[in-house]
Amino acid sequence: MAETFEITYLVTVQQGEQIDQKIEGICLEQSAELPRGVLSDEIQKKVVGEPIRQERLTEGAYEVTIAWPSADVGDDISQFINILYGNISLQPGIKIIGAEWAALHPRLFCGPKYGIQKLRKRYAVPERPMSATALKPMGSSASELADCCYRFARGGIDIIKDDHGLANQDFAPFEERVKACVSAIEKAAESTGRRSCYYPNVTSFASEAVDRYRKAAELGADGVLLCPHIAGLETMHRLARLDIDLPIIAHPSFSGGLTTIGKQGLSPDFLYGQLWRALGADFVIYPNKGGRFSFTLSECKAINEAARSGDSPFMSSFPTPGGGINMETVGHWKSEYGNDVVFLVGGSLYEHPEGIRTASELLQDKLKT
């Protein structure tokens, strides 16, 4: 076989299904999409996936690795997604859990531009976990959001991002909002002597996301937020490859169908920790255990591990758990997740009786100890 890349699957067979048949089905479905009987020997060798490993985990559950000819994909990330989880997304009992990234880098994927160490240096936070929060609620004016941004910045929050629901609505149009929030960040820095970072949301149609990314840089923002499952997965890759010096926070909006469906989909650590990292996410937001969402502790730790792993051709991504993190619990999460993490804290700062600025200061104190 010529040059290949490997994908690893968790394959579950139902009553009446045979594992070997199911694997053969994946090999054909995702390539020639015809029964083997009508394929020439040449086509079979040239395009059909080849199973190279199979391990029985429990009754009916197997970890399976298939090698795919690189020529099936060419230099096209869209076609990679198609091979990865195209038609088989419609079939039960097939879950993607790994990929051989070294064989896909740098031809297809280039990873994050910065990596945790460069981001720590850039923001002068050498060791402790970082903090992030979101500007909201939608419906506020640009100056109301900027005021909120100012108070978070005065309290020392490291990264202040737009809520992912802030797009270009009349309430607070993109450009007006970015200008106001950058000013707020600068004003706060004059008082504190340390600049917090502002990351506006650029999620939109692909070409507009590119325009907003450029505009954010022009207007002095420190990075951007993107929902890759809405803007398009490849949009993140394109932004990360532009010659614009702004890190990207990836947000999981609209991705839940892929990662929360038991025996189907992409494992959370594969999607948020591996694929997003490959696509260039500098920070990967994921729903933390105990928040409003539904991942388990071991799933969260697996995302962290995948995003930070040195066993990857890419720079690392900063794991950014959100949900269920507040002043009382942040110490617990620090001991669970270690220091190389950004804690996304939202509602509890807004709800604090002493106000946003004091709440932010208290949170920063907790991160330093």
Taking CB under 8 A as the criterion, which residues in 220-279 touch its own copies?
227, 230-235, 238, 252-261, 264-266
User: DSSP 3-state assignment of 7?
Assistant: strand
In angstroms, give the least distance from the CB of 346 to its own copies.
Answer: 7
Q: Are 82 and 14 in contact, with CB atoms under 8 Å apart?
A: no
Q: Are 9 and 95 in contact, with CB atoms under 8 Å apart?
A: yes
| Residue partners of 165: CB distance under 8 A and separation at least 6 | 136, 138
Q: Is residue 164 within the footprint of its own copies (CB under 8 A)?
A: yes
Say if residue 321 is preceded by a cis peptide, omega within 30 of 0: no
Query: Site map for its own copies, 68-97, x if CB under 8 A?
Result: ---xxxx-xxxx-xxx-xxxxxxxx-----
Q: Which is nearer to its own copies, 40 or 335 (CB)?
A: 40
Backbone angles phi, psi at 64, to 5 degrees: -130, 135
Q: Is residue 137 within the footprint of its own copies (CB under 8 A)?
A: yes
Q: Is residue 35 within the footprint of its own copies (CB under 8 A)?
A: yes
In angstroms, give the least distance from the CB of 225 to its own copies.
Answer: 12
Q: Is residue 30 within the footprint of its own copies (CB under 8 A)?
A: yes
User: Identity (one letter) of the amino acid at 97?
Assistant: I
| Residue partners of 210: CB distance under 8 A and separation at least 6 | 235, 238, 239, 242
In angstroms, give the least distance from the CB of 247 to its own copies.
Answer: 21
Q: Which positions from 346 through 365 interact with its own copies, judged by CB under 8 A? A: 346-347, 350-351
Distance CA 210, CA 65 (A): 36
Binding span for its own copies by CB under 8 A among 30-38, 118-126, 185-193, 330-338: 30-38
Give the pairing of strands 159-162 and 130-135. parallel
Binding span for its own copies by CB under 8 A among 152-160, 187-195, 197-205, 334-342: 197-205
Q: Which is nearer to its own copies, 290 or 347 (CB)?
A: 347
Q: Is residue 329 within the footprint of its own copies (CB under 8 A)?
A: no
